[in-house]
A and B are shown apart, each in its own frame.
Chain A
Amino acid sequence: MRKRILVLLSLLILLVIMVYIGLQHFVFSYQEVSIINKSELAVNIYASADDHDDPTQYTGQSLKTIKGSTTFKMKKGSYVIVTEKNDSYKQIILPLYLEDSHAHIDIKPQYSDEKLQLMLVQELPAITEAIRKTYQDISSYYTQEPGWLYEKGEWYATKLKYVGQGDIFKNDTLRIILHKESGVWKVITLPPDIVISHVLYPQIPREILIDINNFR
Chain B
Amino acid sequence: MVRKRTVIFGLIAFSVVLCLIFLRPTGKTSGNNTIDIEVTPSRSSITLDGKRVSEGKSRVPDGKHTIKVMHKGFETQEQTVEISGSEELYVGIPLSPNSSETYNWYKEHDKDKQKADAMASKTYDQNSSNMTQSNPIVAHLPLPYGQERYAIDYAPSQINNNGIIIQITAEDSRGRQYALQQIKDWGYDPTDLEIEFLDFNNPLRD
Enumerate chain A interface residues (CB-CB to B < 8 A).
3, 6-7, 9-11, 13-14, 17, 20-21, 135, 138, 141-142, 162, 164, 168-174, 191-200, 206, 209-210, 213-214
Contacts and interface: CB of A to CB of B under 8 A. Distances in A.
A157 to B, nearest CB: 12
A192 B197 CA distance: 13
B172 interface: yes
Given A195-B190, A198-B191, A6 B159 contact: no
Given A198-B191, A198-B192, A20 B22 contact: yes
A195 B200 CA distance: 12
A209 B204 contact: no
Contacts of B191: 195-198, 206, 209-210, 213-214
B97 interface: no
Given A195-B190, A199-B193, A210-B189, A14 B18 contact: yes
B22 A172 contact: no
Given A172-B176, A197-B191, A214-B189, A17 B202 contact: no
24 contacts: A3-B8, A10-B8, A14-B11, A14-B15, A17-B18, A17-B19, A21-B22, A142-B203, A169-B172, A169-B201, A170-B173, A170-B202, A172-B197, A174-B202, A191-B204, A192-B202, A195-B180, A195-B193, A195-B195, A200-B159, A200-B194, A209-B191, A210-B189, A210-B191
A172 B202 CA distance: 9
B49 to A, nearest CB: 28
Given A195-B180, A199-B192, A200-B159, 14 more contacts: A13-B18, A17-B19, A20-B22, A141-B203, A141-B204, A170-B201, A172-B200, A174-B202, A191-B202, A191-B204, A191-B206, A194-B195, A195-B195, A198-B191
B117 interface: no
Interface in B147-206: 157, 159-160, 163, 171-173, 176, 180, 184, 189-195, 197, 199-206
B53 interface: no
A146 B47 CA distance: 61
B12 interface: yes
Chain B binding surface SS class: mixed
A1 B18 CA distance: 25
Given A191-B205, A199-B163, A6 B189 contact: no
A199 B194 contact: yes
A6 to B, nearest CB: 6
Interface string B27-58: 00000000000000000000000000000000
Contacts of A164: 203
Contacts of A194: 176, 180, 195, 197, 200
A174 B204 contact: yes
A14 B200 CA distance: 73
Contact of B171 (A21, A169, A197): A169
Given A6-B12, A197-B194, A200-B194, A171 B173 contact: yes
Nearest to B28: A100
Interface in B102-143: none
A170 B204 contact: no
A51 B189 CA distance: 25
A164 B203 CA distance: 10
Nearest to A17: B18
Top 8 A-B residue pairs of the complex, sorted by shortest distance between their CB atoms: A10-B11, A13-B15, A172-B173, A191-B204, A199-B194, A141-B203, A209-B191, A195-B190
A169 B204 contact: no
A74 B12 CA distance: 38
A197 B193 contact: yes
Contacts of A209: 191
Contacts of B171: 169
Contacts of B201: 169-170
